[in-house]
Amino acid sequence: MLLRAEDLSKRFGGVAALETVDLELERGAVHAVIGPNGAGKTTLLNLLSGIYRPDGGEIFWENESITGRAPHEFAAAGIGRTFQNLQVFFNMSALENVMAGRWLHERHGLAGSLLRLPALARAERACRDEALALLEGVGLGRWALARADSLPYGALKRLEIARALAAEPRLLLLDEPAAGLNAAETRGIDELIRRIAARGITVVLVEHNMKLVMEVSQHVVVLDYGRKLAEGAPRAVSRDRRVIEAYLGSEACST
């Protein structure tokens, strides 16, 4: 078990965004978290990446409790993520965004940084090459030197993924990676997620796009009003009456 969350709760003022949610993430699988808007999906991701502290419950990473640690410590443990509202570094180029993602695997002594010691210069070149390879892996190779704020929306979604991958995470949390993308772009994301999973990275996918969820995930968790409504294999969950009533029923009409 890579990650285990027990009894997670998070409250904002009087509103319970998440209430006693248990979660177990198997290594190497693609897990999906679905549910209506406001169900607590992003809150869950924010708890799993350390951005929020839970009001109740604990998070275990490889059987060690990491509850209450700072976000950068969650990242150092091996948890990476992308964001529902893009958090691209618009003040840098696409390449520099991904290079920034290599932080956990770089040497960063202050003296070396200020004096540009030869070891650091060599490491910089290697970092650049690795970042370029990652960009090409998501199909953004030709945008490498462009400033991030000049990239189209679909490219930015993929840039965030490349940047998150640069940190070599063991668990990758994707918050609505296909939001706002057309059918062709969504197929691209689908393929990208499969390739990521094939590399052994555990994925948690928050998505509204049911087609993508059904095709790519092995395990689905359904949230509703902050509680876990159902979980299981995609087929089983999609046939669950409670899930259809709460979510899929209306979804089937609107998609």
Partner 1 sequence: MGSSGAAQPSGSSRPLLVLAAIVAVLPLGLPNAYTYEIAILVGLNAITCVGLNLLVGYAGQISLGHAGFFGLGAYGSAILAARYGWPAAVSLPVAVAAVGALAWAIGRPILRLRGHALAMATLGFGIIVSIVLATEDRVTGGPDGMAVPPLASFISGEKTWYWLVGGALVASVWMALNLIDSPRGRALRALHGSEVAAGALGIDAAAHKLSAFVLSAVLAAAAGGLAAHYAGFITPANASFLHSIALVTMVVFGGMASTFGAVLGAAVLTTLPQLLASFKDYEMVLLGAVMMLTMIFMPRGLVPTVERALAAARRRPE
Partner 2 sequence: MIEQYLLSGITTGAIYALVALGFALIYNASHVINFAQGEFVMIGGMASAAFFEAGLPLPAAILLSIAGATLVGVLLDKLAVEPARDAPVVTLIIITIGASILLRGLATLVWDKKIHRVPAFSGEAPIALGTATLLPQVLWVLGVSAAAVALLTWFFRRTLTGKAILAVSHNRLAARLMGISVRRVLAVSFGLSAALGALAGVLVSPIAFTSWDVGVMLGLKGFAAAILGGLGSSAGAVAGGLALGLIEALGAGYLSSAYKDVFAFLIIVAALVFLPNGLLGRGATERV
* Chain residues that interact with partner 1, rule: CB under 8 A: 49-51, 70-72, 74-76, 80-81, 83, 87-93, 95-96, 99-104, 106-108, 110, 112-116, 120-121, 123-124, 127-128, 145-147, 160, 163-164, 166-167
Q: Pick from partner 2, partner 1, none: which does 103 bind, CB < 5 to 8 A by kind?
A: partner 1
What residue ranges in 28-99 does DSSP mark as E strands? Answer: 30-34, 56-61, 64-65, 79-81
In angstroms and rounded to an integer, the radius of gyration of the C-alpha atoms of the chain is: 19
Residue 22 C-beta: closest distance to partner 1, Å = 24
When asked if residue 63 is in the footprint of partner 2 (CB under 8 A), the reply is no
Which residue, among 168, 172, 209, has the nearest Cα to 187 in the 3D structure? 209
Residue 81 C-beta: closest distance to partner 2, Å = 9
When asked if residue 51 is in the footprint of partner 2 (CB under 8 A), the reply is yes
**Cα–Cα distance for residue pair 35/18, rounded to 1 Å:** 12
Which residue, among 24, 21, 11, has the nearest Cα to 60 in the 3D structure? 24
Residue 249 C-beta: closest distance to partner 2, Å = 28
| Closest CB to partner 1 among residues 149, 191 | 149
Options 68, 70, 72, 87; binder of partner 2; rule CB under 8 A: 87
Element (H, E) at 137: helix 118-137
When asked if residue 85 is in the footprint of partner 2 (CB under 8 A), the reply is yes
Q: Structure tokens of 227?
A: 């509680």
Helices and strands in the chain, H and E counts: 11, 10
Applying CB under 8 A, the site for partner 2 has a residue count of 7
Is 21 in a helix, a strand, or coil? strand
Residue 172 C-beta: closest distance to partner 1, Å = 11
Q: Structure tokens of 81?
A: 């993520």
Where do we find the tokens 């790519």? 216
When asked if residue 238 is in the footprint of partner 2 (CB under 8 A), the reply is no
Q: Alpha carbon 147 to chain centroid distance?
A: 23
Query: Are the CB atoms for 185 and 155 separated by under 8 Å?
Result: no
Residue 45 C-beta: closest distance to partner 2, Å = 9
Residue span 23-42 as binding mask against partner 2, x where in contact by CB under 8 A, dash where not:
-------------------x
When asked if residue 84 is in the footprint of partner 2 (CB under 8 A), the reply is yes
| Binding footprint of partner 2 on the chain (CB under 8 A) | 42, 46, 51, 83-85, 87
